[in-house]
Amino acid sequence: MLLSAEHIKKAYGTKVLLDGVSLYLNQGDKVGVIGINGTGKSTLLKILAGAEEPDEGTVSLDPNVRVEYLPQNPAFEGSRTVLEQVFAGLSPEARELAEYEAKTILTRLGITDFEQRVGTLSGGQRKRVAMASALVHESDVLILDEPTNHLDSEMVRWLEDYLRQYKGALAMVTHDRYFLERVVTRMAEVERGKLYFYEGNYEDYLRIRAEREEMAQASERKRQSILRREYQWVMQGPTARGTKSRERLERYEALKEQKGPEQRAELTLSAISSRLGKKTIELRGVTKAFEGRTVLRDFDCMLLRDDRIGIVGTNGSGKSTLLNLIAGRLTPDRGEIERGETVRIGYFSQENPVMPPETRVIDYVKEIGNYIETPEGTLTATQLLDKFLFPGDIQYSPISKLSGGEKRRLFLMAVLASAPNVLLLDEPTNDLDIQTLAILEDYLETFPGAVITVSHDRFFLDKVVRRVFAVEADGVVRAYPGGYTEYLAARQAEEKAKTPKAPAAEKKQERPQGPKKLKFSYKEQREYESIDGEIAALEEKLADVKRRQEECASDYVALQQLQEEQTQLEGELEEKMDRWVYLNDLAEQIEKQNQQ
């Protein structure tokens, strides 16, 4: 075992983040840590990395185990060059050996000026330099806090491949669901101070968590059923000259005192927007350059009232510049931008606005208004904060007490509460937890206005957008229909078309053959004739199992067996339905062939 953290407790004031959690890392483990903002994910990583001490519990490393840690907001000495920062802590000999690898990784992460002072870098560039430093230093345990923030899609795909080949143990916090799907082998969810583990990747986590919650609900249904029966017995008078069983009464009281499964706190968003007229936003021939470099060239766009646009491109290509032009924060060097009179823009920028650290959370919201109109009616500032998962004790705390993710969620709430009809989102997934992202994605599906988003989160783009604008290196913006997956397929097809084809070898002239005649095999013919009856029988068995589950609600053992039987029957039914589709398609093709 490389690292063991046992019975870790950590609190800030009265807020308990970690309550006796344990985590163990072995060679080859790749653990993804998730949970809503403010639950203690980053705190857990800091404790594992030795950057923070727990209130109780111990963190132990095997002898000679080397740990490298990428914090969410790395601190630097501004006078160092990029290479000096990457090599910090290495001996001259180790620096010489690692120089080629360091420059390769930095280049992959979009950092090419190795002698630039880190004090002159942007926040995103500093995070990438810190990432390179963590990867260049030899390690047995790698701890990464939001490693995909400030990376473009190409960099994220490269990092995926790198970490999948990493031989040591990995623990990371990330909101990137495709990243979790492709890299991790175990999920750890921080919830109400506890740590819950799920074997497998993100997809496995979703499935197992749903099963766990269903089991908890089944146990609660059983408890309620027994309680109803025992309550009736308690309310009945004792038999003549008899008394009620004391043991049974005690069991009833103990059962009544048990708590049911706690309901997961969920963020709720409703589409708050203003009416958007026929005229939206139109860009005609827009060009913008910085220091002689053109980042946007002759760009035309008519924004539709219900548009869902994703903007992609390498870091520094001009994605945020395009959003700032649309928002009116920048003026074009050439071209025109027209905005309709009813256009009301909500801009969720990449960096949070300045939030006075000593201002209370509720006072920050009251600056928007004491009362906010929503589809459910008028909400007070307190009620709106409740909907955004800010409970009463946090509402009256200063903003300085919020985590980075909580500040991000507070900013999102302020933007949405201003009732925009055009939403501009610049890297909206940075520092937001997965639960909030899922709710935001559902919100954007029903949002009645237009949405334009810059994002490196491939899952988010696939879920939200209907067309993609790719900002090229020469400032030209190219449009692609569909989400990120469709865009990527189109780009790969373009690259394939550019690759010169090798001259085809001269083939020997073959005798032309007619099209192959379709027909059922003997086995397929028998299966085609019987499959409808088999599906009906499976559906009947499934209905019978569900009926028996209702009858056995108080028998946990029987209920569990029936649930396993239901899962097996559903799997068999799904397989049969797949075969039914295949066989019927084949039958239709055979019939068409015979009619010709």
CATH number, position 360: 3.40.50.300
Same domain membership, residue 489 and residue 448: yes
Residue 267 has pLDDT above 70, yes or no: no
Q: Which residue has the higher pLDDT, 231 or 296?
A: 296
Same domain membership, residue 416 and residue 332: yes
Tokens 């095997």, located at residue: 62
Q: What is the rounded average pLDDT of the residues 279-286?
A: 93
- Within-domain flag for 268: no
Same domain membership, residue 347 and residue 223: no
Q: What would the pLDDT profile of 500-519 be if each residue is shown by its tens digit? A: 665 555 544 444 555 556 67
- Mean per-residue pLDDT over the chain, rounded: 85
Residue 526 has pLDDT above 50, yes or no: yes
- Within-domain flag for 583: yes
Rounded to a whole number of angstroms, the CA Rg of the chain reads: 30
Based on the structure, what is the number of domains in the chain?
Answer: 4
Residue 309 has pLDDT above 70, yes or no: yes
Residue 373 has pLDDT above 70, yes or no: no
CA angle centred on 71, ends 65 and 76, rounded to 5°: 105
Asked if residues 255 and 277 have their Cβ atoms less than 8 Å apart, the reply is no
Same domain membership, residue 585 and residue 488: no
Q: What is the rounded average pLDDT of the residues 149-174?
A: 92
- Within-domain flag for 273: no
Q: What is the rounded average pLDDT of the residues 490-495?
A: 88
Last residue of a domain, one of 434, 464, 497: 497
Same domain membership, residue 453 and residue 346: yes
Residue range of the domain that includes 585: 522-595
- Within-domain flag for 510: no
Give the type of residue at 231.
Y
Q: What percent of the chain has pLDDT over 70?
A: 90
- Within-domain flag for 378: yes
Same domain membership, residue 193 and residue 73: yes
Alpha carbon 11 to chain centroid, angstroms: 26
Alpha-carbon distance of 61 to 66, in angstroms, equals 9
Q: What's the confidence (pLDDT) of residue 375?
A: 64
Q: What's the confidence (pLDDT) of residue 259?
A: 73
Asked if residues 382 and 395 have their Cβ atoms less than 8 Å apart, the reply is yes
Looking at residue 70, what DSSP letter applies? E
Closest to 37 in 3D by CA, of 387, 321, 307, 435: 435
Q: What would the pLDDT profile of 350-359 be if each residue is shown by its tens digit? A: 888 888 889 9
Q: What's the confidence (pLDDT) of residue 242?
A: 59
Q: What's the confidence (pLDDT) of residue 324?
A: 93
Same domain membership, residue 341 and residue 469: yes
- Within-domain flag for 95: yes
Same domain membership, residue 234 and residue 200: no
- Within-domain flag for 109: yes
Q: What percent of the chain has pLDDT over 90?
A: 41
Same domain membership, residue 229 and residue 192: no
Alpha-carbon distance of 215 to 220, in angstroms, equals 9
Phi, psi dihedrals of residue 440, rounded to the nearest 5° = -60, -40
- Within-domain flag for 90: yes
